Amino acid sequence: MDLRQELEALQRAAEQAIAGAGTPDALEAVRIGLLGRKEGRLTEIMRGLGKLPADERPAAGAAANRSKECITALLDARASVLAGGGAAVARVDLSMPGRRRWRGARHPVTLVVDEICAVLAGLGFTRARGPEAETDWYNFTALNTPLDHPAADMHDTFYLAPGVLPRRHTAPVQMRVTQQIQPPIRIVAPGTVYRRDPFDASHAPAFEQLEGLAVDEGIGFVDLKATLTEFARQLFGSGTRVRFRPSFFPFTEPSAEMDVSCVLCGGGGCSACKQTGWMEIMGAGMVHPAVFTNAGYDPERYTGFAFGMGAARIAMILYGFPDIRLLYENDVRLLEQLVRP
């Protein structure tokens, strides 16, 4: 009998012996008889491999290892049955009500993006989309941000290739739209953006952002304030108060940060708003003339305003929880609780 036949015979005998073991002790005795270090039958066969000619050893060793893996799997399966795993079906109480299986649903951030876009649609804005991989011209230069700006450094921005990067914001969509059509324009551009930010309670390296743009003749800062104030009141409630604080962005001038009264404490001060009564929701400003020049518009004729916000941060305010990471950990127990109050 050659080695292959001997292994096949041993495997058949092992299958019968394992199946016939009725107790854990009996199964352990079978295991020792097959794989034991001193007296195991398969162990003895594997010890004899060294006596074979050198050219036959690799194939013989592979065959012996396959037999060992098969026997080990049979032993493990039988041990599970003897431990009670195989009898689980018999112990099921068929009169018990079935467990509710969680069904997938739209992610809270997606719901917030759609809600924001719906509010802006009522104010005359339409959705626009663009590529997630952008050139540095669309992402920086066209938006009045020179390539020696700190935001363009590799410690702040991912790069796919020289001059190509995953977009840092969705403002490049605004530039692409303005290159294609003439004013009047009112668009909102939602999409995923990427930054070298730490993943902490208020930052994520990849997140949903929305950028809005309105361009026409005669648009002023009062139009920006009126539009965004109405947006905030429709999204957060009619009693929401807003305020604008001076800020700086390369692509807008003048620029502002927009805050809303804390929806959790009503402006009275709490841990979520750091006792200030206010929560920042977006940056905004009048489009810089240099941006219009890059788009091919006459900055003496057209004016406009732009704004940008993070959908996840808006979701944190609407759903009332303190850590942005909870939105990205996909814990079903949390996600099924995120119902707007």
307 and 170 inside one domain: yes
Last residue of a domain, one of 91, 119, 151: 91
Token look-up 């032993």 returns 75
Distance CA 287, CA 249 (A): 10
146 and 31 inside one domain: no
Residue 125 maps to a domain: yes
66 and 188 inside one domain: no
46 and 157 inside one domain: no
Task: Identify the CA nearest to 289 among candidates 277, 306, 313, 312.
Answer: 306
Predicted local confidence at residue 341, as pLDDT: 45
Domain assignment of residue 237, given as a range:
108-335
154 and 64 inside one domain: no
186 and 324 inside one domain: yes
Predicted local confidence at residue 272, as pLDDT: 66
87 and 115 inside one domain: no
Whole-model pTM: value is 0.67
Predicted local confidence at residue 293, as pLDDT: 94
Distance CA 85, CA 200 (A): 42
Residue 98 maps to a domain: no
203 and 238 inside one domain: yes
257 and 298 inside one domain: yes
Last residue of a domain, one of 65, 91, 117: 91
Distance CA 119, CA 181 (A): 24
55 and 114 inside one domain: no
Q: Tokens in use for 78?
A: 């039988």
Predicted local confidence at residue 87, as pLDDT: 46
12 and 42 inside one domain: yes
- In the chain, the number of structural domains is 2
Exposure string over 157-171, b if 16+ CB within 10 A, otherwise e: beeeeeeebbbbbbb
Residue 235 maps to a domain: yes
Task: Identify the CA nearest to 273 among candidates 286, 282, 262.
Answer: 262
Counting as low any pLDDT under 50, the low residues of the chain are 86-90, 341
